[in-house]
């Protein structure tokens, strides 16, 4: 845990210095310490910020602000956290010499289905989605993730639970290197998007074909696509293993921020 904490702090602090972002001189904790504490909470404490703050005070000798002040500071840094993750993703893309990527999604429920009527965090049918792998409905968000062939997330996009994967793909900014291959399941099938990506960005969208598909694959290509998708499913299982039974948040923004922190912490842990 100590090595992970130091590695995160050095990475975040270096990024903030390069970006020219400086915290107020009178603050107890710097931006790098706040972000590091949040990532440590996602990696080791199930997203419990209070427990992570206690660890940082006791073992890293950091001066942590009061809980309410800490939460306000963390929420103000939400955009910075997203920017740091994207910067890390760009580095991983440059190191990914194979040029192979996989896209898939996993659901994150805010509550159990029986408690939807009493849920105060979200309202509306837009958040009611269907988890095909578990054959059950959920109420919350869907996280679209693009990962390398080795399972390292490089980009994400969070949508309401009812949004179809194909629609989410159209709304995403892929930003993949030219000559890359992006594998996905049949939910991402869209011939128009395939043609546009190939023509405009030189990216091959390789989705698994349905039995009635107009563009059928050879048995060899069908096997390759199935094998490529297995690694990202393992990645999702490892990310969800760090989730607590319920992710505690008071606002939708806080809930989304914790999802990003879990994804960020997993990626850094795999890179170390």
The model's pLDDT over 65-107, given as tens digits with 9 standing for 90+, comes to 899 999 999 999 999 999 999 999 999 999 999 999 999 999 9
The model's pLDDT over 21-69, given as tens digits with 9 standing for 90+, comes to 766 556 778 899 999 999 999 999 999 999 999 999 998 888 898 999 9
Q: Looking at the DSSP assignment, which residues form a beta bridge with residue 79?
A: none
Domain count, the chain: 2
Residue pair 203/172 in contact (Cβ under 8 Å)? The answer is no
Q: Where would I find the H helices in 31-153?
A: 31-44, 49-59, 67-76, 78-95
Residues 21, 114, single domain; the answer is: no
Q: Which two tokens stand for residue 99?
A: 């040029």
Angle at 242 between CA 224 and CA 253, to 5 degrees: 100
How many other CB atoms sit within 10 Å of the CB of residue 114? 7
Give every CB contact of residue 124 below 8 A, 6+ residues apart in sequence.
none
Give every CB contact of residue 223 below 8 A, 6+ residues apart in sequence.
none
| The pLDDT value given to residue 23 | 62
90, 116, 133 - which closes a domain: 90
The model's pLDDT over 201-254, given as tens digits with 9 standing for 90+, comes to 999 999 998 888 888 888 899 899 888 888 899 999 999 999 998 899 999 999
Structural domain span for residue 167:
97-248
Angle at 101 between CA 140 and CA 224, to 5 degrees: 105
Say whether pLDDT at 14 is over 70: yes
This prediction's pTM:
0.93
| The pLDDT value given to residue 24 | 59
Residue 64 domain flag: yes
| The pLDDT value given to residue 29 | 84
Q: What does the alpha-carbon distance between residue 90 and residue 122 come to, in Å, rounded to a whole number?
A: 32
Residues 147, 230, single domain; the answer is: yes
């Amino acid at each position: 845990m100590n090595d992970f904490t130091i590695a995160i702090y050095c990475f975040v602090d270096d990024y903030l210095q390069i970006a020219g972002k400086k915290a107020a001189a009178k603050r107890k904790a710097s931006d790098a310490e706040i972000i590091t504490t949040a990532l440590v909470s996602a990696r080791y404490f199930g997203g419990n910020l209070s427990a992570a703050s206690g660890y940082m005070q006791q073992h890293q000798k950091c001066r942590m602000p009061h809980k309410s002040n800490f939460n306000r500071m963390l929420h103000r840094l939400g955009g910075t956290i997203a920017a740091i993750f994207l910067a890390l993703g760009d580095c991983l893309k440059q190191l990914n010499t194979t040029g192979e990527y996989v896209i898939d999604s996993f659901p994150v429920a805010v509550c159990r289905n029986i408690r939807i009527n009493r849920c105060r965090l979200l309202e509306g049918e837009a958040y009611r989605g269907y988890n095909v792998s578990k054959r059950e409905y959920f109420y919350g968000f869907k996280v679209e993730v693009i990962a390398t062939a080795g399972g390292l997330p490089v980009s994400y996009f969070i949508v309401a639970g009812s949004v179809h994967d194909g629609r989410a793909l159209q709304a995403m900014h892929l930003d993949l290197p030219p000559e890359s291959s992006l594998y996905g399941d049949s939910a991402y099938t869209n011939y128009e998007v395939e043609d546009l990506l190939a023509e405009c960005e030189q990216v091959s969208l390789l989705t698994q074909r349905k039995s009635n598909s107009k563009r059928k694959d050879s048995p060899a290509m069908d096997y390759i696509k199935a094998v490529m998708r297995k690694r990202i499913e393992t990645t999702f299982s490892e990310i969800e293993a760090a989730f607590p039974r319920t992710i505690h948040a008071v606002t939708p923004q806080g809930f989304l921020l914790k999802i990003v922190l879990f994804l960020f912490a997993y990626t850094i842990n795999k890179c170390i």
